[in-house]
Amino acid sequence: MEMIPAQNHEESLVQVQIHTEDDSNKNPDCDMLKGGSLTLSERLDILSKYDSEGASNIRDFAPVQNYIEPQVQVQIQSGEFPSKPPDRKVLKRKTLTLSEKLELLSKYDSEGSTNIRDFARSVNIPESSLRTLLRNREEIEKNAAIVSVKRKKIKAGKHEEIEKILLEWLTQAWSLNMRVNGPVIKEKASEIAQLLETEFSPSSGWLDRFKKRHGIVYNQSRPEATDLGNEYDVDYWISNSLLQITENYASCDIYNVDELGLLYKVMPDRCMLFNGEKCHGGKYSEERVTVFLGSNSDGSDKLRPLVVGRPRPATCFENVGSLPCDYINQNRALMTADIFINWLRDFDLKMGKQSRKIVLVLDDCPAHPKDVPGLKNIRLEFVPSNSTKVLQPMVQGVVQGFRKNYRKRLIQRFLSDMEHPGKATAVNLLEAVHYIRAAWDDVERSSIVNCFRNAGIRTSVEPEIPDGLSGCLDGDDLVELRQRLGHKWASLDAYINVDQDVITSEVRSIENIIDDVIGEEDLNDDDATEPPTVPTVSSVMEAFSVVRRYASCLDVASSEEILRHVNAAEKVVMRHRPAM
């Protein structure tokens, strides 16, 4: 008999004896038994069973446990046998439903767990599965808002492109309060397939799967909103419907959103060219974006602006890691139902994480579907048709204040560039996005509160009188503009409102939707310049020095205000400078 010692410390007290007995003494049943090397866990299991059964005959015990006794025999050496380590059973992977995934994520959040391994053991799932859930949390929550939470897998259909276009048409149809049923969906799917020159015949089975994939339930058409054209009807809606909407919500939980079209490049000397332009198409449409703004009624939560712009190879965005606004490409720079629904679901998740229930007041434009499935924390309420100028808080003055602040920056940029003869003032898309955020930040909280009050929504914040349009620019700036532009300058109000007629959404045909989803336009990139290089910390610090020299030429009060902000900005830059 040859003794083969164990290979590690844990097995130091367990040894395997290999007997070199004659084959004639071999148990005839051995061929049916399991042989091969044993793991530590298997050896410990054998020893535990051997002790518990009080077996004395190893030869009789071995076949019962399905091990080859002549080949493998367990021997306990003298001394104390180590205690059995905790079982490390291998957890089988189980496909979870969306509901189970959401429940696990909610439990993980509620327990404030920091150790993923311990939490995975407590809920009896593999650690790797939990890490995957946490990594894909956002996608899981979005899917749960779209499809049934009983589903385990989200599979795309074989005709994904057709279904994507069909979904956009459906959301628009619902926003227009159209009745949609199975035959209508199948007919539209066939029409899309023909336009795409794709062989596809929608069957009843496909329709059922399509509805399940996207959580579609045929909507019950809402009654048409009454057109409000006189003061009595507006007052009636405010004193009845609006009161019922807001009585159960705090002022911080009443929100309003609205879109505006913005001709972001128009300088004061080109104002007259764009007056009354709607920008459905043509060359001017390439100089526009749609800006989506929103806030709650007490002005404590001004939502991050969303900018919808045309897809273009804008070199100004190269080497840019972050933007001050959310930016989305759309073929015609219009708000669509698909873009709005995606934003709304993200907003709903955000409110859920804050454990808040809110009401969102908005108009019934084609981009705002009346029925959005899956919302858990947002209640949608639409103002009556043709009453947005009276009942939309954002339209009461917030949008106008934003336009004023944006034009103010363009005028200041224009006057600054005119100090350098021959230098043409041009604003690219990246600069416009920064100006948009700055203009939104400059909208005063008091202005927002007053606009909600004008729309009939009372808040807990004391009202203040907002600044008028006269505060847009200093008188000297306006005088200089008139002198330099002469007949090209219309008026300040005309310049501020140059894009008030620009559309933000429209009813789209199937052909329009196909172009928006898969179409590519050959656009000239009039922002095309050399891609901006990433400024170094040294160049930024040098720029701060230039600003300090400029501040030293001003009066004491102005100089101190500028230096205070420069010093604060310098600290932030140094805190976030790249590691050497």
572 vs 478: CA distance, rounded Å: 35
Order of strands, sheet of 73-76, starting from the edge strand that comes earlier in the sequence: 2-4, 14-18, 73-76
Q: Rounded to two decimals, what is the model's pTM?
A: 0.67
Do 295 and 434 lie in one domain? The reply is yes
Residue 510 within a domain: no
**What CATH number corresponds to the domain at position 180?**
1.10.10.60
State phi, psi for 257 to the nearest 5 degrees.
Answer: -130, 155
Same domain, 310 and 418: yes
Q: What is the rounded average pLDDT of the residues 238-251? A: 79
Which pair of tokens denotes residue 337? Answer: 């139902």
245 shares a domain with 177: no
State the CATH number of the domain containing residue 255.
3.30.420.10
> Quick check: 354 pLDDT over 50?
yes
Range of the domain at 122: 98-146
Q: Rounded mean pLDDT of 428-443?
A: 93
Q: Are residues 432 and 579 in the same domain?
A: no
* Same domain flag for 38 and 122: no
Residues 255, 356 within the same domain: yes
Q: For the segment 390-425, what is each residue's pLDDT rounded down to a tens digit?
A: 888 999 899 999 999 999 888 888 888 777 776 667
Give the pLDDT score at 399: 94
Q: Considering only CA atoms, which of 491, 263, 238, 208 is closest in space to residue 381?
A: 238
> Do 276 and 389 sit in the same domain of this protein?
yes
Query: Are 386 and 264 in a shared domain?
Result: yes
Number of independent structural domains in the chain: 5
Query: What is the C-alpha to C-alpha distance for residues 96 and 321, in angstroms, rounded to an integer?
Result: 36
Strand order in the sheet with 288-296: 326-329, 306-309, 288-296, 254-263, 358-362, 378-382
Q: Does position 142 have pLDDT exceeding 90, yes or no?
A: no
Whether 142 and 164 share a structural domain: no
Average pLDDT for 449-470 = 68
Please write the tens of the pLDDT for every residue from 270-305. Answer: 765 555 454 444 445 568 899 999 999 999 999 999
Q: What's the confidence (pLDDT) of residue 535?
A: 82
Is 119 among the domain residues? Answer: yes
CA angle, 437 then 438 then 442, to 5°: 115
- What is the rounded distance in angstroms from the CA atom of residue 328 to the CA atom of residue 345? 16
pLDDT for position 64: 54
pLDDT digits (tens, 9 = 90+) for 34-89: 445 667 777 777 777 777 776 556 666 665 555 544 444 444 443 444 444 555 55
Across the strands, what pairs with 260? Answer: 291
User: Are residue 136 and residue 171 in the same domain, yes or no?
Assistant: no
Strand partners, 73: 17
My answer on whether 61 and 18 are in the same domain is: yes
Q: Which two tokens stand for residue 353?
A: 């994480």
Q: How many CB atoms are closer than 10 A to CB 302?
A: 16
Does residue 63 sit in the same domain as residue 114? no
The phi-psi region of residue 532 (left if phi > 0; otherwise alpha if psi is between -120 and 50; otherwise beta) is beta
* CA dist 367 → 133, 143, 164, 258 (Å): 33, 21, 16, 11
Q: Which residue has the tokens 């492109």?
A: 161
